[in-house]
Structure 1
Amino acid sequence: MKLLAFETATEACSVALYLDGEVRERFGVVPRRHAELALPWAQELLAEAGIARAQLDAIAVGRGPGAFTGVRLAIALAQGIALALERPLVPVSTLQVLAAGAAADGPDRILAAIDARMGEVYVGAYEREGGRLRALDREQVLAPEAVRLPVASGAWQGVGTGFAAADGLLAQRLAGEMVAVDPAALPRAAVLARLAASACEAGEAVPAERVEPAYLRDNVALTLAEQQALRASR
């Protein structure tokens, strides 16, 4: 299977090429440069591998949640290429991608959290089972103090920038349940590509026009009143 993957939902921009089990990736923490770099990186990966776009079997995309602009960019790029090539699209949760990249020697229960700004975090809880990730709860956007683990017993590991948000409030609140926390972890297209390849082989790819971004919330900025209320609560 040959698959091209885009993940641009956070400050990290990454593109990966999956070639029958081998993965090649371009990755960088490049805020505000995603639109400039994503497509050229994809073209570089294809050229280096000697693969034409027409040889791709599918396109994969991190569907969010994350930064609105980044999520929209990844969806637009992936849909555009998939539609042009008449190939299926494999959407994967960015939180799932983040969780799948967690330390293999850590606990099998993983809380992935991305800084959502405006005093909130995007969170998703997962458990590793037989080499696959199972979602333990729905994805949510919440204030750090409102986050609850869906399974209270047992050890967990936490990954993602949500653990550094609000002066590390989420990490502090869940310190008793977390064996390890990596607040610098970011989702990577290489991980996305492997997840998408498995999903594609399981028949989970969909027509490109059916894929929609996962924003989890509609408002992109606080009103002045909301900003004042948030500052007053701190």
Structure 2
Amino acid sequence: MKLLAIDCAANLCAACVYDAAAGRELGRHVLDLGKGHAERLMSAIEAALRAGGIGYHDLDAVAVATGPGSFTGLRVGVSTARGLALALKIPAIGVTTLEALAAEAAAAFPGRAVLAALDAGRAEIHAALFDKALGLTYGPAVTTLAEATAMALDAGAVLAGTAAPHIASAAGRAFDIGPVAATADIATYARLAAAKGPGERPKPLYLRGADAKPQAGFILPRQDDDARKRRKKS
């Protein structure tokens, strides 16, 4: 199975082609954008396909990072993956950023529980706890620093994600720490998706609503029909 993986969950706009049968990456293209994923994702995908020496018609599945992460980036990545899957008549497979980060931490510290935790601002942490076999035992959910710290101590967990240094500092003790990035390497998403296989259609994992809200002060009140008729008569 040849699989295209894409990730727009954080600052990266990443794509790679992965050969599941051979267990190896064929090609990738990664841009550190911060913003602007919608404008650059398709070119990143095409560059990864060229690097892998294949075309869209050679793909058997599409994998996508589903978050938690950037509200807009997740929408771009997931909608692109689902659109490609529909057009190519192949499955789309979602992988969360937390399970991808946990997989990388588990590779560095095998046989250990992993707490993957992302700093979400507003004194919030997006976290998921995985057991020694990388089975999900908690989350993904919104927690506080104190709750995440207590969870890590109770489980004797390896830490991963951007909140890992904060948890270790709050605990006042040393932890084994895996990746501290906001997202995993693009090939990790490909490997996990290949192992998962087809399932439900991916959708963005939003653990809280979008920060952008309508500005009510700029919304004009609606006028009913009677008011409009009275104004016309006058």
| TMscore range, shorter length | 0.7 to 0.9
1:175 Cα shift? 4.4
**Counterpart Cα distance in 1 of 2:29 and 2:161:** 20
Give unpaired runs (5+ residues) of structure 2: 214-234
1:221 is displaced (CA, Å) by: 5.6
Q: Secondary structure at the match of 1:215?
A: coil
Say whether 1:137 aligns with 2:138.
Answer: yes
- Paired with 2:129 and 2:212, the residues of 1 have a C-alpha distance of 26
Q: Which amino acid aligns with 2:164?
A: F
- Which has more radius of gyration? 2
In the alignment, structure 1 segments of 5+ residues that lack a partner are: 223-234
Alignment partner of 1:101 is 2:101: no
Distance 1:185 1:215 in 2: 15
TM-score for the superposition, normalised by structure 2: 0.79
2:175 matched residue in structure 1: 178
Give the CA deviation at 1:163: 3.0
Report the residue type matching 1:17 in the other structure. Answer: V
Which ranges of 4 or more aligned residues in structure 1 deviate by more than 4 Å? 148-154
Deviates more, 1:147-156 or 1:134-143: 147-156
Please, which of 121, 125, 128 is the counterpart of residue 129 of structure 2?
Answer: 125
Specify whether residues 12 and 56 from structure 1 end up closer, same or farther in structure 2 by C-alpha distance, changes over 3 A only.
Answer: same
Equivalent position of 1:15 in the other structure: 15
CA distance in 2, matches of 1:144, 1:123: 10
Q: Secondary structure at the match of 1:178?
A: coil
SS in 2 for 1:43: helix
Identity value in percent: 33
Q: In 2, distance between residues paired with 1:27 and 1:175? A: 36
Q: CA–CA distance in 2 between the matches of 1:76 and 1:12?
A: 17
Instruction: Return the letter of the residue paired with 1:69.
Output: T
Equivalent pair of 2:68/2:126 in contact (CA under 8 Å): yes
The offset of 1:155, in angstroms, is 3.4
Return the alpha-carbon distance in structure 1 between the equivalents of residues 68 and 105 of structure 2: 18
Deviates more, 1:8-17 or 1:26-35: 26-35
Higher relative contact order (CA 8 A, sep 6+): 1
Answer yes or no: is the 8 Å Cα contact 2:152–2:159 preserved in 1: no
Contact (CA 8 Å) 2:6, 2:14: kept in 1 or not? yes
2:48 to 40, 45, 50: 45
Q: What is the total number of aligned residue pairs between the two structures?
A: 210
